[in-house]
Amino acid sequence: MEATTCQKCGRLFMKQGRSPYCPSCGEVDFQNFLKVRDFIREPDNRETTIGALVEATGVSELDITRYIHEGRLIIKDNPGLAISCVRCGEPTNAGKVCTSCQTDMQQELHSLQQSITKPSARAYRLD
Ligand SMILES: [Zn+2]
Ligand SMILES: [Zn+2]
């Protein structure tokens, strides 16, 4: 375990898992996430925008975007919540990267894996 500074309150705490927050801020953050998730799941709130969501839940836009980026908040059914794809900048509600970038990245990964597994012509002999 390593000590790290909480990104919310700045207090020093023992890091557990991937959370950038101390246990008390992590708990608040989780409750905020649940509030946001429950709100956008309501059929009446399907068309909600980020502004309306911030107003209804009191959770900041920054946090909401982070939930989406972390893949915790799924906004597939909420077209009004589209965020910019971190790769191409186009609005998307597929998550951190838009579906076309996801396909691109998968193809890139695939060709990368192929080039790694392909028998290499390089000689490893040291003499
Ligand atoms: Zn904290
Ligand atoms: Zn994209």
Residue 107 within a domain: yes
Would you say 51 and 88 are in contact if contact means Cβ atoms under 8 Å apart? no
Identify the domain containing residue 87 by its residue range.
Answer: 83-114
Residue 95 within a domain: yes
Residue 2 within a domain: no
Residue 17 within a domain: no
Residue 42 within a domain: no
Residue 9 within a domain: no
Cα 106 to averaged position of ligand 2 atoms, centre (Å): 13
The residues whose Cβ lies within 5 A of ligand 2, an ion, are 85, 87-88, 98, 101
Residue 25 within a domain: no
Instruction: For the chain, 127 residues long, give each residue's pLDDT as a single digit of tens.
Output: 789 999 899 999 998 777 788 999 999 999 999 999 999 999 999 999 999 999 999 999 999 999 999 999 999 999 999 999 999 999 999 999 999 999 999 999 999 998 887 666 555 666 6
Would you say 85 and 101 are in contact if contact means Cβ atoms under 8 Å apart? yes
- How far is 33 from 116, CA to CA, in rounded Å? 39
pTM of the model: 0.77
Residue 34 within a domain: no
Task: For residue 113, give every residue at least 6 positions away whose Cβ sits within 8 Å of its Cβ, in sequence order, or none.
Answer: none
- How many structural domains is the chain composed of? 1
Q: Of the bound ligands, which one is closest to the alpha carbon of residue 88?
A: 2
- How far is 49 from 66, CA to CA, in rounded Å? 16
